[in-house]
Each structure stands twice: as C-alpha cells, then as structure tokens.
Amino acid sequence: MTTPTTRIAVIGAGIIGAAVARELKQRYPQSHVVLFEKEDHVAGHQTGHNSGVVHAGLYYQPGSLKARLCRRGVDLITNFAVENDVAIDECGKVVVAQNEVERERLAEIHKKATANGVPDVALIDAGRLRELEPNVVGEAAVHSPHTAIIDYTGLTMALVADFERDGGEIRLSTEVERVQSANGLVTVISTTSAEVFDHAIVCGGLQSDRLARASGAGADPSILPFFGQYFILEHKHADVVNGLIYPVPDPAYPFLGVHITRRIDGELMIGPNAFLSFAREQYQGFPFSLRDSLAIAKDAGFWKFASQNAGAALRELGGVISMDRFVEGAAKFVPQLEGAKGKRAPRGVRAQAVDRQGKMVDDFVIQQSGGAMFLRNAPSPGATSSMAIAEYLVDELAERYELGTARAA
C-alpha cells in the first residue's frame, strides 16, 4: 500500500483525468493527489463538446481494450450518475439500414455487439423499427435499448467534487508543459512552477502527443484533430424521434457518419460530420491556428492518411459548407426533417491518433515513459469508458510500482 508521503500528479481535467484523480484518491486515501488543468474550469475541451451519448459497445472489435472498457464504463458511469443526480436518459438507439448492402453490415454489427455483451441488443425488421420509431424510414435495424444520453460536463464536475471531498487538490489555470523523470521521481513543470511527485498520469486529450514528446516519450502516435459540427433543430422537432438514430457505418470511411441525437436538455441535434481541423482547441469561427496547421503539414502520417481518405473528405465537405446538406442527410432517415431549420452548436474537436503509415489508431493507447504514464489515444467511447479507463490506469500504476490495491472504506 502507498505511504502517506506518496504524491501523484494527474494532468488534464477532462472526464478521464477527473476519473483517474478520483480513482487514485479513493484507492489510496493517504496519498497526495493533485489534478492539473490549464483552463479555469473542468471539461473544457473534448468532454464538453461531444454528443453526450453513453455508447453501449456495438461496433468495437470483441476482446479489444476499447470493447472491454466500454462495457465496464457504462455500468460505472450509469451508477455514478444515478447516485450523484447527474442527468442521464436511457433513450435507446437504432442503427438503421436502408438497402441490402447495409442490411448485411447490420448482421456484423449485431454479432460484435453480442460478443461484447451489449444487453438486450436485437436485430429487428422494418415492422419492429416502425413500432419503436414511427417516423424513421429503414429496412432493418440493430436496436440497443439501453444506449443512453448524459450530461458529461455535469458528470465530470461530480467526479471532481468527489475527489475534492476526499482530500484531493485541483489546480485550475495551471498549464503543464512537460513531465521530467529522474532518480525515480517525476517533476511536473508548468507555466507557474516545477513540482516533484512520485508518479504522474497524463491525460492530455488534444495535446496528448505534444505532452508526451516534450516529456521524452516516443513520437508516435501523433494527434490529428477532426472537427465535428452539430446542428440543433428548432424545438418543434424535438419529439420527432424517441431515441438515437444512427446510419450503418461504411467500412470504406473512417467515421460513423451523421446521426440524429436526442440531447439531455430535450432538444434534437444532428451531427457530427468529421473534417480536418486546423486548430485543436477552437470551437467557433473558422478553425485555424498557425501552430496546429504547421504541425499537420509536417506530419508524414497525415499526408499518407490524406491520400488514403480523399473520398471521405469530399463526402464530408458538403456538410461542412452547408447546413442544408446536413439536414438532407438526416431527412433520409426521418423524412419529417426535410427542410428543418435550427442553429449551429459549438463544434467538437476529436483527438484522433494516427501512426506514421497514416493509419488511424483504433484502440486506446497507453505508454509508460520514465515515471509517467501517458494516455496517448482515447477516441470514442473514451467518455463512456472514462471511469473504467481510470481503473485500468491505476491498476497499471499499482502493478508497476507495487502500490497495492487498497481502497477507501
């Protein structure tokens, strides 16, 4: 078990970093755990700019870390949300096929979902689809009745509140530049100070590659930022669907495609698309940062990725330019939405890890360098899996440094 002098730093107060800090403090109540966050609030980036979906685990390769942690994560965040009055709604989801090719793909999705232990998942025909979603057009669907929507920002705030109640310390407006390892200790170097810890876990999100490289970890994988636009429809459309409506993903394209999502505030949203962002942390206006753009231009993996995915980029470009094109895509599934109006919501920016061959890294990536552990890739379902990722990271830390498995009573 850790001693009272053990000091552990966690960098990044998105939902994963918050969950890690809480897990450490609960498991090792005598330790001094400090959570660093460069913004003046938590959940300022990916956590606060996503669709709010609690993913059930339909698409992920059975046996992968992503699949295992997703299913564990669903149970953890659902229970935590209920116990802490965080808004959550188990509205259900259908993945809708509109032709024979998509129907064949549905069978594979259902097979994966079943192997992953998704509860009550079912392959349904057009008649059953109409019963569940009278306004949705489709030939068949995979139905996941327990897929939910949640307030991820509220969940992150509740995790941090729990952490602080247990004696954890959070330092907002403190940007960490790197973590330096020497003599069995780590020094967290921020814009305001240099502080020594026994261990560090870095959950850098959109800056994960930069933090890792600056700290002496490997160059790969690198982060390519992709923005996703959301369109909130006029309130009169809020009840046109009962749950979440997703297209069948095309294996030739790297993202799921535009879907129709109920929001936890009761509104209806369509999106996201996915297009290369020239700024990692800009959520309104034209996304451009000279530093981020130069990083993309110098990344050999990006150019290989671009050459392999030109078709996907052209497909997404229409929706980037025109919200009408966005709505047209949604109306293929829900004809009542044809011509629907609304407003753009702040976009999200996804941190997608890419290797030197231009291949998108699909699973979670965790690297150890010196005395620090780096979460290098946590794509969707990262938020869903957050509390399970926290368990996994702390287990890894405990095993590596023989910290024991004690938990607070």
Write the single-letter amino acid at 27: R
Cα gap 374→365, rounded to integer Å: 8
* 381 preceded by a cis bond (ω within 30 of 0): yes
Closest CA to 122 of 100, 105, 107: 107
With tokens 């919200």, the residue in question is 323
Q: For residue 170, what pLDDT band results from cuts at 50, 70 and 90? A: very high
**pLDDT (mean) for 142-167:** 98
Q: For residue 408, what pLDDT band results from cuts at 50, 70 and 90? A: very low
Three-class secondary structure of residue 219 per DSSP: coil
Which residues have a Cβ under 8 Å from the Cβ of 208 and sit 6 or more positions away?
A: 202, 223, 351, 353, 374, 375, 376, 377
Closest CA to 21 of 157, 150, 197, 170: 170
**How many residues are listed for the chain in this entry?**
409
**pLDDT (mean) for 198-212:** 97
Contact 219, 76 (CB under 8 A): no
**Cβ of 80: how many Cβ atoms within 10 Å?**
19
* Average of per-residue pLDDT values in the chain: 93
Write the single-letter amino acid at 79: N
With tokens 């368990």, the residue in question is 391
**pLDDT (mean) for 109-120:** 97
What pLDDT is attached to residue 45? 97
What pLDDT is attached to residue 409? 31
- For 74, half-sphere exposure in the C-beta direction (CA atoms, 13 angstrom radius) is 23
What pLDDT is attached to residue 274? 82
pLDDT reading at 254 higher than 90: no
**Domain 1-92+148-221+361-409: which topology?**
FAD/NAD(P)-binding domain (3.50.50)
**pLDDT (mean) for 68-94:** 98
Cα gap 109→123, rounded to integer Å: 9
What pLDDT is attached to residue 68? 95
Q: For residues 409 and 252, which has the higher predicted lDDT (pLDDT)?
A: 252
pLDDT reading at 273 higher than 90: no
Taking the domains of the chain in order of start, what are their residue ranges?
1-92+148-221+361-409, 100-145, 223-356
